[in-house]
Chains A and B, each alone.
Chain A
Amino acid sequence: MKRPRLSPIRSLPALALALAGLAQICAAQEFNAPPPLARSRYRNGEETLRAFAPVSAETRHSIVKFNVAGETVALGAVVDASGLALTKASELKKGKLTCWLATEQEVDAEVIAIDDQEDVALVRVHAQGLEPIQWATGEVGEGQWVITPGIAETPHAVGIISALPRRIRPPRALIGVQFDFGTSTPKIEDLLPGLGAEKAGLKPGDVIVAVNGLAVTNRDQVVEKLRDFRDGDTPRLRVQREEKQFDAEVRMTVPKSGQPGSALYFQQRLSRMGGEISQRAEGFDLAIEHDSILHTWLCGGPLVNLDGKAIGLNIARAGRVTTYALPAKLVKQVLERLRAAAKAATTASN
C-alpha cells in the first residue's frame, strides 16, 4: 500500500545539521489515510483511563487533593487514619490550606513538618474515616504500569516505569567561572559577571586547589565536586594566586533565563517542551522515573501499581519524558523523620 506523505519531517532538512533548531511545520496536502487515533484512546485518554477505574476505587479514599486559596496545588497520600497525609512540600504555596476528599467534603489542613531534602511535607488533615494508603513491597520493573489516582473514579494519569530508582542530583548550580581549556589544571580564564566567583573576588589566572578542604588538581574534579552543591550553597574554595593561597566562600547560582550562564541550560529547556515542570524537580536521594504525563499540581500523591498498592510518592514533573516518584521504601523513612520532627516540635512548644 502506498501511503501518503504528510508531515513535519519534511521540514527538517534545513535544520538537520544544527544540533537543535526550530522550524515551522508545513501543512501537507490532503490524503486518504485512516483517521488518526481518537484522543480518548491515547495512552492517557479517558477511555484508556477508564480501564484503570478499579485501581482508583481501591485508592481514592487514601488520597486528598490540596488547595490553597481555592486552587489545587497538589495531591496527598494518607498515611494515618487519624488524618495525616504526605505531599510535595514546595507546591504548598502561602495561604489557607484546605483539601478535597473522595467524599466530596472540603476540610481544613495544616502543615506540621517539612523534609527539605526530599521535598516532602507531613500535613494534618481535619477529617475522619480516611484510609491509609497501602505500600507495595518488592521490586519495581521497567515497563510496569504506574497509576496516579486522585479522588475521582478514574485516575489522573497512567504510564510505565521508564528507569529504575536512582539518585537525582540537584540542578547544576554555577560559581560563574570559565576555565582555561589550554590546561587541565583548574585555572580561571574568565568570570561571568554578577555570579558568585566574581562577587567573592576571584580573578582570571587564579587556580582552584581545593573545594571544602578536598584537594583538586584538575578541572573535571572541580566540576564534579561542585555538582553536589545546590543553588544558594557557599562551598569554600582554596585559591592559589601567584605565590599566595587564600580561602573564598563562593555562592552557587542557577542562572535564570537570560542571565549570564543561562545558555548552559539550553538543552534542559528543550527537554521541558510540552508543559510546565515542577519548580523543585531535581535533588532527590532516590527516585523512580516514569513517563506519566502529570500536571505539576498533581504531584505529591501516591504512585500505585495495578493492585492499588503504592510503589512511591510522585515528587516532580521533571521534563517532557520524565516524572519522578520517591520509592515507597524512601517515603517510609522520610515519614519516620517527619513524625519525629513533628513530635519534637510539639514537645518543645509544650
Chain B
Amino acid sequence: MRAAEYWRAQPAAWVLAVVLAAPGALGAPPPSGSKNPAPTNLPAHSATNAQIQRASNTNTPALPPVPRPTPARRADLPAALTKPVPTSIADLRVIEQHVKALVARVSPTVVAVEVGTGSGSGVIISADGLVLSAGHVCGRPGRVVRFTFPDGKTARGKTLGVNLDNDTGLMKITDRGPWPYAAMGDLDQAQVGDWVLALGHPGGFDLKRSLVVRLGRIIEVAEDALQTDCTISPGDSGGPLFDMHGRVIGIHSAISSSLAGNYHVPVTEFYDDWEVLAKGANWK
C-alpha cells in the first residue's frame, strides 16, 4: 500500500502530526557547562569536505556554497546491512558492531538547541559550525541559539534561514570553532529497508542521559519526506537521521500516533533551499 493510501485507509491514523520541539520550560534544567568549550578538533568523518567553506576566513564572508554529499557506495557496507532482512545471529552481530562504531563516530556532531522557550536538536555539518535543524525549531532567522554538546558543554549561535513549508532550518554556531561535524548524504542510494540511526534529545537536554540513539529502517522514501520506524519524540526535532555510512540523510520533523509514523525531512531539501537558508532569510 502506498503511504498516501495508507493514511486514507486508516481513519485512526488520520492523525496528529506533532511538531517535535519540546517546551523548554518543562524540559530538563539547563546543564552546567562551560560557556567557552574547547571543541573537539576531530571531524566525525575522515573525508574532507572541500565544499564546505570556512566563512571566517574572509573579511566579507561569502555565502557558504551548497554542501556536497560525501560519496558513498552501498558495496562498501557489510552484506548483512544490505540484505532485505537479517537471517542469522552472524548477520545481527555484524550489524551490532557496525552500529556501535557508528554511534561513537557521529555522536559528537549532534547538539541540543534552545531557541526562545523551545528546545530541539541539530547536527553540525561544517567545521565552522553550520547546523542543520528543523524549520519549526528555528522559527525565524536571526534568533539567539544555545547549543549543547553531548558532554554538556555549550556554545552560542543564531538561526539562519528557515523554510516552514518543508521544515528545513539552518543555524550557525558563532563561537569560534573548529567544531566536530558530520558528513552530508543524499537520497541517490537511499532505499526502502535501509537501516538508519536516529539521534537526538527527546524531552530536551538531560546531562545524566544525554543523547538518545534509535535504530530503525526506512519505510518509505519521497521527495519531501523519509518515513522510518526509528521512534522519535518531542525534543528530537531537528536531530539527524544517519545512514549506515554515517552521513546525514534526514532531519527529524514530525510523528503520527503510529509508532511507525516518524517523518524526517530529506537532506536534499536543504540543498534545494540552500541559498535562502544560508542567507538567513525566510522562505517566501
Contacts and interface: CB of A to CB of B under 8 A. Distances in A.
Interface of A: 1-13, 15-25, 27-31, 33-37, 39, 41-45, 47-48, 50-52, 54-55, 141-145, 159-163, 166-167, 220, 224, 264, 266-268, 270-271, 273-275, 289, 291, 293, 306, 319-322
A45 B193 CA distance: 12
A19 to B, nearest CB: 5
Contact of A2 (B212, B223, B233, B259): B223
List the 9 closest A-B pairs by CB distance, nearest first: A3-B223, A7-B225, A16-B136, A143-B100, A143-B103, A6-B222, A16-B164, A36-B220, A143-B99
A142 to B, nearest CB: 5
B3 A7 contact: yes
Given A16-B135, A43-B217, A320-B233, 20 more contacts: A7-B225, A9-B17, A12-B253, A16-B167, A19-B22, A19-B23, A19-B118, A20-B19, A33-B220, A35-B2, A41-B84, A42-B229, A48-B86, A160-B215, A163-B213, A267-B26, A270-B234, A271-B233, A306-B93, A321-B202
B253 A21 contact: no
B21 interface: yes
Interface in B1-35: 1-8, 13-19, 21-23, 26-27, 29
B192 A43 contact: no
Interface in B139-183: 139, 164-167
Contact of B192 (A10, A35, A55, A163): A35
B89 A267 contact: no
Given A31-B4, A274-B258, A9 B253 contact: yes
Contact of B139 (A6, A17, A24, A54): A17
A8 B16 CA distance: 9
A269 B91 CA distance: 37
25 contacts: A8-B261, A10-B224, A15-B17, A16-B136, A18-B19, A20-B19, A30-B2, A31-B222, A33-B221, A35-B2, A37-B192, A43-B215, A44-B229, A51-B88, A51-B89, A52-B89, A141-B100, A162-B213, A266-B26, A268-B26, A274-B261, A306-B89, A306-B93, A321-B212, A321-B236
B49 interface: no
Interface string B91-116: 11101100110111000000000000
Nearest to A272: B233
Interface stretch (B62-70, B121-129, B203-211): B203-211
Contacts of A55: 89
Contacts of B279: none
B96 A143 contact: yes
A38 to B, nearest CB: 9
Nearest to B9: A27
B218 A4 contact: no
Contact of B233 (A23, A30, A321): A321
A83 B180 CA distance: 53
B222 A33 contact: yes
Given A5-B223, A36-B220, A145 B18 contact: no
A41 B258 contact: no
The listed residue with most A CB atoms (<10 A of its CB), out of B2, B84, B220, is B2
Nearest to A18: B19
B265 interface: yes
B19 A16 contact: yes
A23 B16 contact: yes
A103 to B, nearest CB: 24
Contacts of A28: 3-4
Given A27-B4, A51-B85, A55-B89, A8 B17 contact: yes
B203 A271 contact: yes
B232 interface: yes
Given A22-B16, A41-B193, A274-B259, A17 B254 contact: no
